């Protein structure tokens, strides 16, 4: 099948199923942990300096309405790698919201990941960074299509040692020995506890080495930073670097890392043949005080289905293919990256696969309308909210980490996210036609998206 991509003044043809290896683009997916919508210079932060990300946006596209498919780590990552809402894989739960070191579950073998799909198209694949889709060996990245893995298997605040002080995670002077998190190379623990002060630098070195050693063949690099999830750590080179304090130091080191990746691509002559996409798994962890980020003008943060929990900074970069300095407010999500990458690689989705992502090439390369017209905000297995065009309906709400119960709205709260991005003015009373349209859309999701049993509930048996 042939498709035409109109790229500004240019028009090229891509053969979707018969690309030669030389024509297949590389993919670098940089995924942060708990980065807020308002934490980058190019997204309006007044004192965190992110010159490399700002330049990446100036040379590429900045997306304003890009979503993760969950407001916490594990389901968000499952959705990213499978192109499916996390309820389909069971990587979500209404009780335990993420995997813990005592969890038995993980991403099922039956799930088809971006890495597996691209591997079958001849790509070299590597995962660097936080995984959080199951730390038992049968669930690790090397069992899910990645040729290699270097990183931590779950969050950097898990495995806290018993004598660590209360509130250790949100400390602005945390000590690496307060946690016992392992660092893995492929399936083997190579350091425990991992020295988190150098982790961003070491991930970056792994990433640039992988780029250099795969310059002659197509590759997919998944670089999932452990930061800025608390506890916050940065190398000595970034100590006191930011006006924003420790959190700012951490973001500015990630920004440095992005600069290293883009330089490695350019120096190896790969910049014209590589799509780099930068985003985050969920919004800022607001309850961590100064150790957490900001969602800017968006309401709430991590753990919530208000915008601040799931709308993310997102920057796409591919010199010669993406119009420099473009800004898109089209609706798109992490689940769209899988079909986008696979299509550009010349591959096809498996017949019969129920996938929720859409190829977002028209947004990226034609700067035109998204194929995506609606999006579901799940919390665990339940649809809390839906977006359709500019409008959003909340059927249920809850503060992210408060003890308040879930509030169910008999008549959904309706917001116009373009006119009211902070979700302050409920329109439901005056727009009954929108209420009806959203009720219908909810029925559509309930009918179409099958909920698999949770893979997060189980705990290790007591010894």
User: Does 33 participate in binding Mg ion (rule CB under 5 A)?
Assistant: yes
Q: How far is the CB of 305 from Mg ion (least distance, A)?
A: 15
User: Does 69 participate in binding Mg ion (rule CB under 5 A)?
Assistant: no
Measured from the CB atom, the residue of 34 and 359 that comes closer to Mg ion is 34
| Residue 339 near residue 355, CB atoms below 8 Å | yes
CA–CA–CA angle 206, 270, 214 (5° rounding): 45
What residues act catalytically?
A: 73, 132
Give the contact letters, 241-280, x = binds to Mg ion (CB under 5 A), - = no: ----------------------------------------
Residue 255 CA from chain centroid, whole number: 16
Q: Can you tell me the distance from the alpha carbon of 337 to that of 342, in angstroms, rounded to the nearest whole number?
A: 8
Exposure pattern of 229-250 as b/e (b: 16+ CB <10 Å)?
bbbbbbbeebeebbebbbbbbb
Backbone angles phi, psi at 414, to 5 degrees: -120, 130
> Given the rule CB under 5 A, which of 34-42, 181-189, 204-212, 262-270 is the region that contacts Mg ion?
34-42
> Given the rule CB under 5 A, which of 116-124, 255-263, 281-289, 342-350 is the region that contacts Mg ion?
281-289
Candidates 103, 282, 304, 397: give the one binding Mg ion (CB under 5 A). 282
Q: Can you tell me the distance from the alpha carbon of 153 to that of 395, in angstroms, rounded to the nearest whole number?
A: 34
Residues contacting residue 188 through CB under 8 Å, at least 6 positions apart: none
User: Does 121 participate in binding Mg ion (rule CB under 5 A)?
Assistant: no
Q: How far is the CB of 302 from Mg ion (least distance, A)?
A: 6
Measured from the CB atom, the residue of 271 and 281 that comes closer to Mg ion is 281
Place of tokens 């691209």: 118
Measured from the CB atom, the residue of 282 and 328 that comes closer to Mg ion is 282
User: Does 34 participate in binding Mg ion (rule CB under 5 A)?
Assistant: yes
Residues contacting residue 430 through CB under 8 Å, at least 6 positions apart: none
Residue nearest to Mg ion (CB): 73
| Residue 332 near residue 356, CB atoms below 8 Å | no
> Given the rule CB under 5 A, which of 27-35, 108-116, 121-129, 330-338 is the region that contacts Mg ion?
27-35
CA-nearest of 110, 16, 61 to 359 is 16
Candidates 65, 121, 255, 281: give the one binding Mg ion (CB under 5 A). 281
Q: How far is the CB of 283 from Mg ion (least distance, A)?
A: 9
Q: Which residues bind Mg ion (CB under 5 A)?
A: 33-34, 73, 281-282
């Amino acid at each position: 099948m042939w498709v035409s991509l109109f790229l500004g003044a240019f028009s090229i043809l891509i053969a979707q199923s018969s690309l030669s290896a030389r024509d297949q683009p590389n993919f670098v997916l940089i995924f942060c942990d708990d980065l807020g919508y308002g934490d980058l210079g190019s997204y309006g932060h007044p004192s965190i300096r992110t010159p490399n990300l700002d330049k990446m946006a100036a040379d590429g596209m900045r997306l304003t309405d890009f979503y993760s498919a969950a407001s916490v780590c594990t389901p968000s990552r499952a959705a990213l790698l499978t192109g499916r809402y996390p309820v389909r894989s069971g990587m979500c739960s209404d009780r335990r919201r993420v995997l813990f070191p005592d969890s038995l579950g993980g991403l099922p073998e039956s799930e088809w990941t971006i890495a597996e799909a691209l591997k079958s198209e001849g790509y070299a694949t590597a995962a660097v960074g936080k995984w959080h889709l199951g730390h038992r060996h049968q669930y690790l990245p090397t069992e899910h299509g990645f040729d290699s893995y270097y990183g931590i298997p779950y969050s950097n605040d898990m495995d806290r040692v018993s004598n660590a002080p209360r509130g250790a995670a949100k400390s602005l002077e945390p000590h690496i020995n307060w946690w016992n998190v392992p660092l893995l190379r492929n399936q083997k623990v190579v350091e425990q506890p991992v020295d988190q002060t150098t982790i961003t630098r070491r991930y970056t070195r792994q990433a640039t080495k992988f780029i250099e050693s795969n310059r002659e063949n197509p590759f997919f690099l998944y670089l999932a930073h452990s930061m800025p999830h608390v506890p916050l750590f940065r190398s000595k080179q970034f100590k006191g670097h930011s006006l924003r304090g420790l959190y700012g130091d951490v973001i500015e080191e990630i920004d440095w890392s992005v600069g290293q990746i883009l330089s490695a691509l350019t120096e190896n002559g790969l910049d014209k043949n590589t799509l780099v996409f930068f985003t985050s798994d969920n919004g800022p962890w607001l309850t961590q005080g100064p150790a957490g980020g900001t969602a800017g003008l968006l309401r709430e943060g991590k753990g919530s289905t208000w915008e601040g929990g799931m709308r993310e900074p997102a920057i796409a970069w591919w010199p010669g293919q993406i119009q420099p300095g473009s800004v898109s407010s089209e609706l798109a999500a992490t689940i769209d990256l899988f079909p986008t990458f696979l299509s550009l690689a010349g591959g096809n989705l498996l017949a019969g696969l129920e996938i929720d992502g859409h190829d977002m090439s028209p947004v990226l390369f034609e700067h035109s309308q998204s194929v995506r017209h609606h999006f579901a905000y799940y919390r665990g297995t339940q649809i809390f909210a839906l977006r359709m065009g500019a409008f959003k309906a909340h059927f249920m709400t809850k503060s992210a980490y408060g003890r308040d119960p879930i509030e169910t709205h008999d008549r959904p709260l309706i917001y116009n996210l373009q006119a009211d991005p902070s979700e302050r003015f409920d329109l439901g009373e005056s727009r009954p036609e929108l209420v009806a349209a959203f009720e219908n859309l909810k029925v559509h999701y309930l009918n179409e998206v099958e909920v698999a049993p949770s893979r997060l509930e189980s705990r290790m048996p007591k010894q």
